[in-house]
Structure 1
């Protein structure tokens, strides 16, 4: 089968398509015939040598995919060969076939193509894990999403509005991206290249944010803590602006603030399986009725994986970039006559 190999740390040019063996599903796993796989920021970091896969996980990049089940391992129930699913993978989605723990598979939402379904898992799992579980976003609280036009950001805005009736602030770099956040339900969106924290204070007052989701860290940390309401929670999913920060501990103690963060990839299948169950129960009905949407920025054939990565390197995307491994089948909507 075809696989994408990272030949060395570097730019998109280090990605090469080579031949590799078809993996065999073990107990509790399925083999997925990949029709589409999305490109995510962790893939970019892995390509650059900054985000190695956990021990025992394939070096092939790709964290979510959609396709049909090609084989079922021992101990798997509820899934059969031919089922149309999307899945959060532990890696390996940039390939014609990938092995996935069965509990991390979800049915393709009704009315969705495989390309659209491939855009869902990584963004939805990450948003749910960090906003709903770790951030403990409560009913009618205020959420700040840094980078609201990212896949995770757009998923988080919609989850917060539809499931928690939250007030949502977001940041984004361009007018087009800010407009997209507003269309998804954000109450106010600010340019992160300007004084976004001051703009939030002028809009909502001091200490107005209950939960913040951030991938930048570095000098942003104390700025965000200063915006937090008592008992506020600041959740990190990356640290693109720096791995360390100086914070006011006395203020953190006085207002009972929480700093936390996560990487989902090393977590065991049982943990991810619980997120999958929650998404199917609470988010899938929103997707299937059109109340919640996904946005596809562009679709590239697997042979143009370098060009797909270049889009994220340039930060040009508004929505998800998806790789198509079978152009005709990837656009199919399962169950549609």
Structure 2
């Protein structure tokens, strides 16, 4: 098979297409002929040498989400058949013509979606569902603040929170990105390059914050959260070391939590898959639509990574095969 290989830690140019042996599958896995693969910031971190693949995943082939057609079944797989069209969360190896996936972490491609749109679903939906609704406990009528609403995670969080009946505020870094967030349904949109989100939201009751920024946003998040608020971290691109005023946390009874998804075991991901299939999949196409900004051919993975690092895009970038 052809695959995109991280030939060394470095910039986008270290991504090269090479031939590799087809992956083998275990008894509880399926082999997927990949039609499209979503691109995510963890792929960029892996390429730079900061985010190694977990044990058992290809060490030098990035890619955490795919869509495609099942072409082989493990001996214990009962749910799927050869020829089924699925999208799947994978621990790595998605930038390739074939990838092995755990059968219990696959979902059917929703009716009406292209392979590219389906490939943009798993990583962001799993992350948002687990962190906003399970860990953050967002409920109907509550207020969610999403930092970085114009990206893959942000665009997913806005749509799913609105579908659940929440009020949504978000930050974004340009007039175009703010307008995009408004179109997705955000109630309050703040251009963080012009306005301080604490000043804008000081009279709002913010119950849950989804943050990938870290750094000095931490204290601002504590300031803006309502009593019994939940602060959920999924990254810390502006710094992972922060000062904590424990008295303020206690006085407001704030829950500070967060998670990473890639290294979680299959049992956890399978349970998450079942919940997402039951509660999120019925919303797709009506209340939620995957946001694919641009498609790149597999051989152009370096250009796709350069686009992601440039930041001038909305929603998701996808490789097509």
Instruction: Tell me the distance in 2 between the aligned counterparts of 1:299 and 1:283.
Output: 24
Q: How many residues align?
A: 320
| Matched position secondary structure for 2:284 | helix
Instruction: Tell me the distance in 2 between the aligned counterparts of 1:77 and 1:189.
Output: 46
Instruction: Tell me the distance in 2 between the aligned counterparts of 1:21 and 1:2.
Output: 9
| Matched position secondary structure for 1:222 | helix
Residue of structure 1 in register with 2:102 after alignment: 101
Residue of structure 1 in register with 2:62 after alignment: 61
| Contact 1:215/1:239, CA 8 A, preserved across alignment | yes
Instruction: Tell me the distance in 2 between the aligned counterparts of 1:21 and 1:242.
Output: 39
Residue of structure 2 in register with 1:319 after alignment: 315
RMSD of aligned residue pairs (Cα, Å): 1.1
Question: Does 1:263 pair with 2:260?
Answer: yes
How far apart are 1:174 and its partner, in Å? 1.2
Instruction: Tell me the distance in 1 between the aligned counterparts of 2:198 and 2:106.
Output: 42
Residue of structure 2 in register with 1:83 after alignment: 84
Residue of structure 1 in register with 2:207 after alignment: 210
Per-residue CA distance 1:106-164 (angstroms, 9 max, x = gap): 0000001111100111110110011011111122111000001111111111111112x
| Contact 1:171/1:196, CA 8 A, preserved across alignment | no
Residue of structure 1 in register with 2:189 after alignment: 189
| Matched position secondary structure for 1:106 | strand
Which residues in structure 2 correspond to 1:53-202 (within 5 Å)? 53-59=53-59, 60-163=61-164, 165-201=165-201
How far apart are 1:52 and its partner, in Å? 1.1
Residue of structure 2 in register with 1:16 after alignment: 16
| Contact 2:4/2:299, CA 8 A, preserved across alignment | no
TM-score calculated relative to the size of structure 2: 0.97
TM-score calculated relative to the size of structure 1: 0.93
Instruction: Tell me the distance in 2 between the aligned counterparts of 1:259 and 1:50.
Output: 24
Unaligned runs of 5+ in 2: none
Instruction: Tell me the distance in 2 between the aligned counterparts of 1:244 and 1:154.
Output: 27
How far apart are 1:291 and its partner, in Å? 2.1
- The 10-residue stretch of structure 1 (61-70 or 266-275) with the greater mean CA deviation from structure 2: 266-275
Instruction: Tell me the distance in 2 between the aligned counterparts of 1:157 and 1:25.
Output: 36
Per-residue CA distance 1:32-91 (angstroms, 9 max, x = gap): 100100111110111111111112321210000000001111211110111000011111
